[in-house]
Amino acid sequence: MDAKILIESFAEFARSKNVDRPTMIRILEDVFRAMIRKKFETDENFDVTINADKGDLEIFRIREIVDDNSEDIWDFDKISFTEARKIEPDFEIGEEVYEKIELEEFGRRAVQMARQTLIQRIKDLEKDILYNKYEEQVGEIISAEVYQILGREILLIDGEGNELILPKAEQISKDRFRKGDSVKAIVHRVDMINGNPKVILSRTSPVFLERLFENEVPEVYDGLITIVKIVREPGERAKVAVESYDDRIDPVGACVGMKGSRIHAVVRELQNENIDVINYTENLDLYVTRALSPAKVSSINVDQERKRISVFLKPDQVSLAIGKGGFNIKLASRLVGFEIDVFRELNEYDDEDVDLNEFVDEIDAWIIDELKKTGLDTAKSVLALTKEDLTRRTELEEETVDEIFRILRQEFEQ
């Protein structure tokens, strides 16, 4: 293989990978200089000129002519007067000899190895380009096309044919994709595994929801409205705390849009995830009240030291505060940064009810705490639920729930 064929084939391959010309020339020169060092032990006195467009390669070995008896005659950049005269009879001592080295002089094996090295260098460069490209886009929304659905992940390709990964854990539980579908997600992270970049996408990250708001709400994109915090149970419910430094802008109204037009676009993308947009405030009591919406809070008791908040509500508001699957109270706790305990307000008709703390001798304290976390603080509030409801809310074992019901019913039967 001569130099022209080698360079032209490499240049064509490099261009197909969108490698710019200066980088292409640098890689070619690096590889040829490596060949020179292997054959001559150094490349310091060699000049390498490459024209990738024409496939031209010129390698010149540059040496200074010294007297045959000179002490420097064995230096890598020196040549004896006698040897120089064999190249050109007109040479004189002190002049420089430019000796052209043909690619064939390196041997067929070295040339083939150079070809493989060039291809590998481009592939390595391609990996670096892919890594750097997506590393800069971490936290940004992209669209990609599904091309293979596996058990634990979905493989997608971007517009340049690069493979991206959407793991099962980063998918919304209601997501259902088919080959060829266009998928929106954020670039979650980029891992380098065994020298290969792995681009991991996410649709469950709170950042994905934040970027969707930026796309749909110009005031958020422009910075007029700030998203203070987002908490999510992907596909189920989310709470978004927002604020504006401009009193003329209603941050909640701007995010929701006229008749919900803006937020509906976000909800559809998140498979009908229920999104509560809350006006942020530094007033903790008010913030908790807003976080527990749509429930109406009667009173609040804050324990700063234990980072716990006791919230008291009317009996008909307890289930609203807890929410389906307990998502509302879980998200409210994460949003405000306090553990929230929900309690029913007892009224005059609840005289016959019994506080769960009265059963501490028969029911383990940790079980009572679990019940209270879901707003169940009296015997009748527990008995008002079915076995299935109580199991789902507390995640207690069915046998434990049966025993709780037995103990509480026994109290009223007596």
pLDDT at 226: 95
Q: Distance (Å, rounded) from C-alpha 161 to C-alpha 267?
A: 30
Burial of residue 26, with CB atoms counted within 10 A of its CB: 0-12 exposed, 13-18 middle, 19 or more buried: middle
**Which of the 8 DSSP states describes residue 298?**
E
> Under a CB-based contact definition with an 8 Å cutoff, are residues 45 and 60 in contact?
no
H/E stretch holding 62: strand 56-66
The model's pTM: 0.68
Q: Distance (Å, rounded) from C-alpha 168 to C-alpha 163?
A: 16
| Domain residue ranges of the chain, discontinuous segments joined by + | 3-132, 138-203, 205-280
Residues 205-280: name the CATH superfamily: K homology (KH) domain (3.30.300.20)
pLDDT at 347: 56
Length of the chain: 414
Residues of the chain with pLDDT under 50: 348-349
Give strand pairing partners of 57.
Answer: 50
Tokens found for residue 265: 């676009």
Beta strands in 253-379 (DSSP E): 274-279, 297-303, 308-313, 339-344
Nearest Cα neighbor of 184 from 161, 160, 164, 162 is 164
Q: Distance (Å, rounded) from C-alpha 290 to C-alpha 278?
A: 6
pLDDT at 2: 67
Residues 138-203: name the CATH superfamily: Nucleic acid-binding proteins (2.40.50.140)
Q: Distance (Å, rounded) from C-alpha 381 to C-alpha 373?
A: 13
Nearest Cα neighbor of 64 from 98, 93, 99, 96 is 96
pLDDT at 358: 82
Tokens found for residue 353: 């009810």
Single-letter residue type at 384: A
Q: Which residue has the tokens 């553990």?
A: 339
Query: Tens digit of pLDDT for each residue in 192-234?
Result: 988 889 999 999 999 999 999 999 999 999 999 999 999 999 9
pLDDT at 349: 46
pLDDT at 348: 45
- CATH T-level fold of 3-132: N Utilization Substance Protein A; Chain:P; domain 4 (3.30.1480)
